[in-house]
Each structure stands twice: as structure tokens, then as C-alpha cells.
């Protein structure tokens, strides 16, 4: 695995030419587990979308420590962005992850099917492979989307609010799964979250996004109780 997977140099991001985040600079090392945190509307998802190449970089540059064309990143979107009108089984959704490395017009083969089955196994949902995707609970859907991202065989996994709208039990399962993927399989993780308490026990480092800027630091510094108290007041529940 490359030492540095992502380097942002004076990056500005935004929509329709309007800058939301300005002059961001930080690196993501291989094997790191990093959270993008900050208040609602601060631009956490904008930053993630910029890293993924879903919105244009207005200034500066993002360098990838791997070849994106042959080895795309694993991406886990918020499940609400997917339309339930599509008749898809769990297996079909996971299989989509293998398209990332398949050449144009090349059909899915035995290797891709095996890979999809293995990824479902890794997230503990192999027995649901032939169930309709939309019949699953929110937490199960999120794990299926993680399996889909793993089917890309990525160097880096980028997750947008992986526990949004998920019950506490499922939240713990998802966070444990992410920790396990990072710890046991050395997959670099970048996730957007507003669950500060959960994030604090999971990630090595934090990028704090606020007022159009972002600063990176160790979790124990960035999410120190006194700093959070200063920003938000005392933490309640999962916040």
C-alpha cells in the first residue's frame, strides 16, 4: 500500500463556482482511519465529494497515491440517495462494486460473482444475498453498501454518514465493521460523521470542518472533551 493515499494542496471546493471550502491542505496516510466532522452545513459532504471527484476542484489540487482509473476508491453513499424503484437483490447491488475494475462493455464473470459473494460474507450478510435490497433494514442496507464498496477492492474507503438514520444497535455493528476493516485488513478509511462520541473511539485522526476551513489533528486533541464542550456544550446521547 502506498504511504500517502491522498494529498490536498490549497484545495477550494464549492458548487456553481461558489466557494464553500477554501485553501484546504492535509494528507491521508495509508492505513489511517480519519473522520470529517463539524457542524451541520459546514461542508463535510462537500469535502468528501471533492475527494471523490464528484464536484470540480475550484483551486489547488488533489493528488491520489494510487491510479484512480484502474483502482477506484470504495464509496459508500448515504442510502437515501438511492431510488427504491429499482428491482435489485442484495447480490446485484454488491455486484455493482465490481464494475469499477471491469473494462468497458466487459460482462460480469465468475470472478466478479465470487468477489461479490466474499464481500457479502465479510459484512456478515451472505444469507441475505437473494433478498430484495429494499426489504432490508437501514443498518443492513448500509452494510450491503459497504460490501459493494469492498467489491471495488479499494485502497481507500470513503463513507458519507454511514450511521445516519440507523438505530443504536445497528450503528454499533456498522462502526465495529469499519474498525475491523481498517484494523485487520489495513483499509484506509475516511468517513463523514456527526456522531462525535462514536467517532472518538474509532478514528486515529480528525479533520474539523467549519467556516469554510478545515484543520486536521489527532483524535484526542481535536475531539478533546474540553474542546467539544467549548464548541457545543456537554455531549448528550450519541452526539
Partner 1 sequence: MNTFVEMLSPGFLLREALIGSVLVGCLCPLMGVYFVLRRMIFLGVALPQVSAAGIALAFLVYRMLIGQHQHFVPSERWLAMLGSLSCTFVGLLVLAALARHRETVEARIGITYAIAAAATLLFLALDPAAEAHMVNLLKGDILATTGPSLTLMAGVFGAVALLLVVCRKEFLLVSFDRDLAVVFGKHAGLWDSLLYLMIGVTISLGVMTAGPMVTFGFLVIPPLTARIITRRMLTFSLTAAGLGAITAFAGFYCAYRFDLPLGPAEVALASLVLAIVAVTRGLLRVLGRWQAA
- Helix 110-122 × helix 138-150 angle, to 10°: 130
Residues within the interface to partner 1 (CB under 8 A)? 49, 52-54, 68-69, 72-73, 75, 77, 81-83, 85-89, 92, 96, 99-100, 102, 104-105, 107-108, 132, 152
| Residue 68 or 111 having the CB closest to partner 1 | 68
CB 223, min distance to partner 1, A: 28
Nearer to partner 1, 82 or 213 (CB): 82
> Exposure of 212 by Cβ count < 10 A (0-12 exposed, 13-18 middle, 19+ buried)?
middle
Name which of 26 and 99 has its Cβ closer to partner 1.
99
Residue 134: what are its φ and ψ, rounded to 5°? -75, -10
Q: Judged by CB, which is closer to partner 1: 132, or 212?
A: 132
To 5 degrees, how large is the angle CA 184–CA 187–CA 192?
115
| Minimum gap (Å) between residue 94 Cβ and partner 1 | 12
Task: State in angstroms the smallest separation of the CB of 199 from partner 1.
Answer: 23
Task: State the minimum distance, in angstroms, from the CB of residue 209 to partner 1.
Answer: 20
Which of residues 57 and 96 has its CB atom nearest to partner 1 in the complex? Answer: 96
Quick one: which H or E segment has residue 177? helix 168-185
Nearest distance from C-beta of residue 73 to partner 1, angstroms: 7
What is the greatest pairwise CA distance in the chain?
55
Distance CA(150)–CA(76), nearest Å, equals 9
Amino acid at each position: 500500500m502506498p504511504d500517502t493515499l491522498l494529498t490536498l494542496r490549497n484545495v477550494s471546493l464549492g458548487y456553481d463556482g461558489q466557494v464553500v471550502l477554501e485553501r484546504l491542505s492535509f494528507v491521508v496516510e495509508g492505513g489511517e482511519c480519519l473522520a470529517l466532522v463539524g457542524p451541520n452545513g459546514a461542508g463535510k459532504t462537500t469535502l468528501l465529494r471533492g475527494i471523490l471527484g464528484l464536484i470540480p476542484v475550484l483551486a489547488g489540487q488533489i493528488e491520489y497515491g494510487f491510479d484512480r482509473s484502474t483502482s477506484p476508491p470504495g464509496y459508500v453513499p448515504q442510502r437515501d440517495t438511492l431510488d427504491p424503484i429499482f428491482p435489485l437483490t442484495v447480490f446485484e447491488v454488491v455486484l455493482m462494486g465490481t464494475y469499477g475494475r471491469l473494462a468497458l462493455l466487459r460482462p460480469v464473470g465468475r470472478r466478479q460473482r465470487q468477489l461479490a459473494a466474499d464481500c457479502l460474507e465479510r459484512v456478515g450478510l451472505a444469507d441475505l444475498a437473494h433478498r430484495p435490497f429494499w426489504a432490508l433494514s437501514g443498518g443492513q442496507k448500509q452494510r450491503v453498501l459497504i460490501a459493494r464498496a469492498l467489491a471495488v477492492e479499494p485502497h481507500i474507503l470513503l463513507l458519507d454518514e454511514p450511521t445516519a438514520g440507523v438505530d443504536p444497535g445497528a450503528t454499533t455493528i456498522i462502526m465495529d465493521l469499519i474498525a475491523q476493516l481498517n484494523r485487520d485488513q489495513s483499509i484506509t478509511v475516511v468517513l463523514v460523521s456527526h456522531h462525535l462520541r462514536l467517532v472518538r473511539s474509532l478514528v486515529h485522526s480528525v479533520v474539523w470542518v467549519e467556516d469554510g476551513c478545515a484543520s486536521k489533528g489527532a483524535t484526542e486533541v481535536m475531539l478533546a472533551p474540553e474542546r467539544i464542550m467549548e464548541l457545543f456544550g456537554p455531549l448528550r446521547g450519541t452526539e
